[in-house]
Every structure is written in structure tokens, then in C-alpha cells.
Structure 1
Amino acid sequence: MTDTVLLALDTSTEFCSVALLAVANPPAGSSLRSLADDSLAGDSPGRGSSARGLAGGSPVDGLSAGASDEPRVWSRHESTGAVSSTRLLPAIRELFDEAGYALRACNAIAFGAGPGSFTGLRTATGAAQGLAFGLGCPVVPIGTLAACAESARRRDPSATRVLAALDARMDEVYWADYAWDDALQDWHAVRAAALDAPERIVAPDVPYTLAGNAAAVFGARLAIAAGARAIDGEALPHALPIAFAALRAWRAGRTVPADQAAPEYVRDKVALTTAERLAVKAAQGQAGDPSRSHASEPPQ
């Protein structure tokens, strides 16, 4: 019985995040399983730098029951700031060495497509494309907001409606609304990724989990936080939930050739003008929040 080996990359934030997932292919006719993995519980991207390999996870979507079908995962999630590009390839090599696989064993390469740091998105996209070209394997783009929803549900299986909201800097929020579809055993985007002021985000009309760091960053300005059934501030972009989401996508044939992989920027404006920066600072002073800083581009 051969293994499905999937590599996932994310550099959309200040973290360099890499994960490797390997699972024994189920025999023909095996039934599909619903989500049942909690492997993120102890490896949260909000807890600072980590370099960790995990082994012997629980069964995940698309796999039949039984110990031989449980996934094995290895991950690195390190705070690298603006130098993710220098750490990404060494981290990949480390994971393959640790797992005992050759790079050519890869069936697909997933990456966090965005939104997020402009530079970081290009880094992950370029690395995924280059590796996929060399290996002759497909690419699986996974949205970073979808990764937040995936993370929230893996940490809390009752989180079947997730509004993912990330600080986009420049006084704005990246957000999307996701519903878990039991029939498809996958997420459905009720509202696709968008960019808005925190006051303009639209809350779901059903109980929902708020995932991401926007609640911590914007406080009372993010009114949707008050109506959430739960707030998971640690459900952030991370290669491990990207890997699990990509496994479902790969099994369903939702892949692209390497030359068609592209970032999902959402924002088409990289920096505030001088006048806009002054206006933001003035607004912060009036709100009594001088501590909030705004970079010229989304988080690195």
C-alpha cells in the first residue's frame, strides 16, 4: 500500500509555516470519513516560534477508519518576520529528512494563496510553483481565510459556521464567511474573501465562530465579535490546516498545474498615502489607541 504525501507551505504572515502530511491510501471502496482530527490543539500559530514534528495523528476526511489509515504529519511554524524566503526551503528539507521521504514522493504541493502579505504570498507561490515544476506534480491553492476556518473546526468540531477575520493593516480587515457542508464534507464560502473596515463586516445570521486575530487587534470596533458564539484568536494561517484542506481538494481533483498557481491578493493597494496615514493616526488618538501600528503592506 503506497502513501499519499502532500507538502503545504504558508508565508502569508510573519511566520514561515511548512507541513508534511503522509497517509496510507485506502483500499478501493473504502468509505469516506468526516473530520475528526485535533492535531492543531498543541501547535498554535499564535504561541510564537515553534519547530515541531507530529506523528500518528487521528483519522481525517477522505480516509477510512483504522490505524493504518491515520495520517502522519510533521510541521515547522517559525517566526521569521520578513525573511521567510530564506527559511522556507531549509524547513522543507528538514521535514522530508525527518519523515524519511524523498522529495520526489510528493503527490501535490499546497500553499496559502492569500490574502496576506504581498511579499509572503509571492514567496509561497513561487516556491510551490518551482517545486511542482521540478516534481511534475499539481498545486493546490488554499485561501488563508479558509485555513483559519479549517483550524477553528479542528480545534472545535462544533464550529461548523466560521467567520474568519484577519488584520489587513491599513485599518482594514480581510474576512470571509464559511459554512461546513456535511454532504460534501468540505467548506462552502457563503461570502468570499473581502477587504473592509472592521465596522463594515457582515455577521452571519446563524451562530458562528469568529476565527483570526481581528478581534484582538480592533477590539470594540469589530462589532461582529460581540455576536459570536466563540472567538478563536489562535485559528490563524498555518501550513497544517492548509495541508488537511488540500488533501480533500487533491482527492476531489481540485488542483491546478504549476504555471496556473497564483496568489489571491484581495487588496490592490499596497500602501497608504501620507495624508491617509496622518488621518489614521489622528483617528487612533481620538479613540485613545495610540499603540496600534500600521505597516505599508499586510502582515509579513
Structure 2
Amino acid sequence: MKILAVDTTSGACSVALYDQGQVKETFVRAERDHTRRLLPMVEQVLGESGYRLSQLDSLAVSQGPGSFTGLRIAISCVQGLAFSADLPVVPVSSLAALALGAVRDNPEWATLQMPVLAALDARMQEVYWGLYDVSNPGQALLPDQVSSPEQVIASLASASYLEAAEEVTESGEAPLLAAGPGWSYPELAALNPRALLLDAGIHAQDIAVLAADLWRQGKQVSADTLQPTYLRNEVTWKKRERIRPSK
């Protein structure tokens, strides 16, 4: 199985090739340079692998949540490539990729019987967040959503993920593994998770690994049906409101 994955969800640009269980990635920080960098990176990864686009089994991309512009750039790129080579696409949650990357960087997490709460800053005093199984980060324990940090805590409590916190450790740590910049909100950080990786990022290599499993489950889609997951559709509306001239 050969899958090419791309990501421009946040302040980075990455492309990776999954080839029979082996993954190679190119990754650069590019806050506002995704459009210029992405296609040359795709060409670089394919060139180094020796494969043509038509020899792949599928493409993969983060479908969100994340930056409105970043999601559109990656998805538009993948749609163009998919149409040109008649390839299907596997959409992957950016939060699942964030959780998997954190576990990859911290292999000791896999020995802890605690879920990973991946969180991205959604602006407007809200976070994009999802809860994932540490031993299988592609498995969502709670659906991806957007809410205030206080609502995150309420959701975890109502789902019984926080009620046993005091029984886990004597230090008052919450039984959670935390990943992502969304944890910079003081209200969320006050949970005092067992472990925190604040600078965790989204990588195409993790999207590729998750996509391979989804591919085996038959969850690929055609390029024309691929849609981003914004979770908060009013982001576009608010942007338009800010630039609309006053009367």
C-alpha cells in the first residue's frame, strides 16, 4: 500500500509517503507560505521515492479541524492531484494526527492507561479538541468538537473521564495525557494533566499512518466529495463581518 499524505492545518507544511509500513516525511515551518511550498514538496517526496503519482493507491489529507485557510490549501491540492491521477482520498482528523504524533514523540505514554486529549487553539476563547485512546490514537473516545475550555472540562466530567482523578495520583493530576497548543489556555491547563506536550504539531507522517488503517477499513472517498471539517462554520461569517465596509 502506497499513500501520499499532505498537511497545512497549522503553522507548518508537511508531505509524507507511506510505503508498505515505512513512512518518509518532509516537514517545514511555513506560517504563510503553504501555497508556494506544498507542490514542490510533493514532487520532492515522490522523486525521492521513485514513484509516480499514478502508482499510488491513495492520497490522504487532514480534513480538520484547524485553520480555515490551511485546510482549504491542503484539500484543494489533494483534490487536484486526485483528479489528475484518478485516485481516491482518505480524510483524517487533524486532532487524531495530533494525538498520534504526541504518542510517537513520547512512547512511554503508550504504557499509561489514560486517554490523550488533543487540543488546538480555535481563537475566540475556544479550542478544537478530541479525546483519543492512547494505545490506538485513531480511535476517538469522544467526537471532535469546538468549545470553551470550561465546556471541555464539563464534557469530560459528564463522560466520567475526570471523576476518578483523585484516585489516580495523590498529587491531584487529572488522568489525561495532553497534547497541543490549545492547552495554553489557563482554564484548561488547570486540569493538571499527567503529561503535557504543548508544542505538539500535526505531521503528514501521522496522517499517513492513520490513513493506512482507514484505507483497510474502506473509508476512502472520491475527490469530489472531500469536504473540510470546520466544526465552527461561523468562522467564515465572522471574517466577512470584519472586512465588510460600514454604511
**Aligned-partner SS, 1:188:** strand
Candidates 69, 75, 91, aligned match of 2:41: 91
Residue in 2 aligned with 1:104? 54
Residue in 1 aligned with 2:125? 171
Alpha-carbon distance change, 272 to 253 in structure 1, aligned in 2, over 3 angstroms: closer
Could you give the per-residue CA deviations for residues 231-289 of structure 1, whole angstroms, max 9, x where no partner exists?
Answer: 12243211111110001111121111111111000112227979xx9xxxxxxxxxxxx
Q: CA RMSD in A?
A: 2.3
Is 1:255 the equivalent of 2:220?
A: yes
CA distance in 2, matches of 1:273, 1:113: 21
Alpha-carbon distance change, 187 to 127 in structure 1, aligned in 2, over 3 angstroms: same
Is 1:18 the equivalent of 2:10?
A: no
CA distance in 2, matches of 1:249, 1:117: 23
CA distance in 1, matches of 2:64, 2:7: 9
Instruction: Assess if the C-alpha contact under 8 Å between 1:210 and 1:225 holds in 2.
Output: no
Residue in 2 aligned with 1:243? 208
Shift of the alpha carbon at 1:170?
A: 2.1
Is 1:232 the equivalent of 2:186?
A: no
Could you give the per-residue CA deviations for residues 209-250 of structure 1, whole angstroms, max 9, x where no partner exists?
Answer: 1111122x32x3214641x22112243211111110001111
Residue in 1 aligned with 2:168? none
Between the aligned residues of both structures, percent identity stands at: 39
Candidates 128, 131, 151, aligned match of 1:200: 151
**Aligned-partner SS, 2:3:** strand
Could you give the per-residue CA deviations for residues 77-108 of structure 1, whole angstroms, max 9, x where no partner exists?
Answer: 11122220111110000011112222211111
Alpha-carbon distance change, 225 to 240 in structure 1, aligned in 2, over 3 angstroms: farther
TM-score w.r.t. length of structure 1: 0.67
Residue in 2 aligned with 1:210? 178
Instruction: Assess if the C-alpha contact under 8 Å between 2:99 and 2:137 holds in 1.
Output: no
Shift of the alpha carbon at 1:147?
A: 0.7
TM-score w.r.t. length of structure 2: 0.81
Query: Runs of 5+ in structure 2 lacking a partner?
Result: 165-174
Residue in 2 aligned with 1:121? 71
Shift of the alpha carbon at 1:191?
A: 1.7
Could you give the per-residue CA deviations for residues 44-98 of structure 1, whole angstroms, max 9, x where no partner exists?
Answer: xxxxxxxxxxxxxxxxxxxxxxxxxxx3322121112222011111000001111
* Structure 1 residue identity aligned to 2:216: R
**Aligned-partner SS, 1:81:** coil
**Aligned-partner SS, 1:17:** strand
Structure with the bigger percentage of helix: 2
Alpha-carbon distance change, 21 to 176 in structure 1, aligned in 2, over 3 angstroms: same
CA distance in 2, matches of 1:172, 1:76: 30
CA distance in 2, matches of 1:88, 1:124: 8
Instruction: Assess if the C-alpha contact under 8 Å between 2:100 and 2:137 holds in 1.
Output: no
* Structure 2 residue identity aligned to 1:136: D
Instruction: Assess if the C-alpha contact under 8 Å between 1:161 and 1:209 holds in 2.
Output: yes
* Structure 2 residue identity aligned to 1:83: D
Alpha-carbon distance change, 22 to 178 in structure 1, aligned in 2, over 3 angstroms: same
